[in-house]
Structure 1
């Protein structure tokens, strides 16, 4: 049942996004969204509290994608190697690519549609707990540790700024980016804001937890301190 509701909400989000892009937010009504989604207006308001929030499931899909991919991140890989696999468009289903383009186009309207920005920001804020869990698991630390939570918040903010910068540059200024460029800039930005060493390969420990892989010289130096 929950899956069915989530699918229905995403259908509404796609319809709303298409209308916002075509007509603008002000010229789109709840009735318009309901008609485009093939449901009653009453159902739209059962799912969402206003028309702006109708695109929340699409915005959330952006950070959820990062979270899903990072949960599958092997301990022996660096952030650069893993992101290169995540962003390989040849491995993505057509629906994911279509939604991704819709999200990019929607993000590019934020400078002209300020009422959508709170929805965009809130979608990323909701991802902090999930990312904290991923970072904590990778480093063998509690998800609730202040440093872990701070790192998660900083990384999500960096990813959000990357999304905004690339989307606006691509849609408004017709700039093109290769997958390698996106991977390099994303990894560089994540490293720049991370004060915990989770971006590099980590070594699982036999009695629980994990930690960054150190060279023999670094390990000896650590034992003598």
Structure 2
């Protein structure tokens, strides 16, 4: 249902899409839509959340002896992505590009970004052998999550609204640069585990 809602929003806009339209596209009753979603805009939350969880899962697999650039390059390689993940990525880019004209969608987008930030706390803590409750770890996760959001929005709007094209390598480079610039902790380069503690 989430993909159907996203496609309708992209094609018709939020105002031009009703709960009935989403139900018809998904092949369910309108009552089912409202049973699971509090508003039509929230129908895209599962799509955005799935993408955020997938990215977090990829970061959890980041080898300690690998830089952020190398790991993101491997994660974003098209030959390592399922066709549905690629299609979802394109749909999300088009959805993000709507945000300036469709502010009602921003809540769904920010919820996914917040989940990404929460996941980053554990990822940074694990990579640096620190506690997830450490203030510096939380601050790092917050600033890195904000940088990722800004890059996602900037690239999406440039691609959809201005017809700019990006290679996978360019996306990886911009994302890695943003993460490095935003991070107050040194987790982007290879790290050595603290076997004997601090």
TM-score class normalised by the smaller sequence:
over 0.9
Q: How do 1:148-159 residues align onto structure 2 when only pairs under 5 Å count?
A: 148-159=137-148
Structure 1 residue 208: deviation in Å?
5.6
Q: 1:187 aligns with which of 168, 176, 196?
A: 176
Residue 197, structure 1, aligned to residue 154, structure 2: no
Q: How do 1:4-153 residues align onto structure 2 when only pairs under 5 Å count?
A: 12-153=1-142
The 8 Å contact of residues 48 and 92 in structure 2, kept in 1 or not, is answered as yes
Structure 1 stretches of at least 4 aligned residues deviating more than 6 Å after TM superposition = none
Q: Secondary structure at the match of 2:69?
A: helix
Q: Which moved more, 1:46-55 or 1:199-208?
A: 199-208
Unaligned segments of structure 1, at least 5 residues: 1-11, 210-225
- Residues 123-161 of structure 1, C-alpha deviation per residue, up to 9 Å, x if partnerless? 211222211001001111111111111111111111111
* Partner Cα separation in structure 2 for residue 174 and residue 34 of structure 1: 32
TM-score (norm 2): 0.96
* Partner Cα separation in structure 1 for residue 71 and residue 104 of structure 2: 35
TM-score (norm 1): 0.84
* Partner Cα separation in structure 1 for residue 86 and residue 187 of structure 2: 28
Q: 1:206 aligns with which of 180, 192, 195?
A: 195
* Partner Cα separation in structure 1 for residue 37 and residue 81 of structure 2: 29
* Partner Cα separation in structure 2 for residue 134 and residue 50 of structure 1: 32
Q: Which moved more, 1:119-128 or 1:105-114?
A: 119-128
RMSD, aligned α-carbons: 1.3
* Partner Cα separation in structure 2 for residue 149 and residue 43 of structure 1: 38
* Partner Cα separation in structure 2 for residue 91 and residue 129 of structure 1: 26
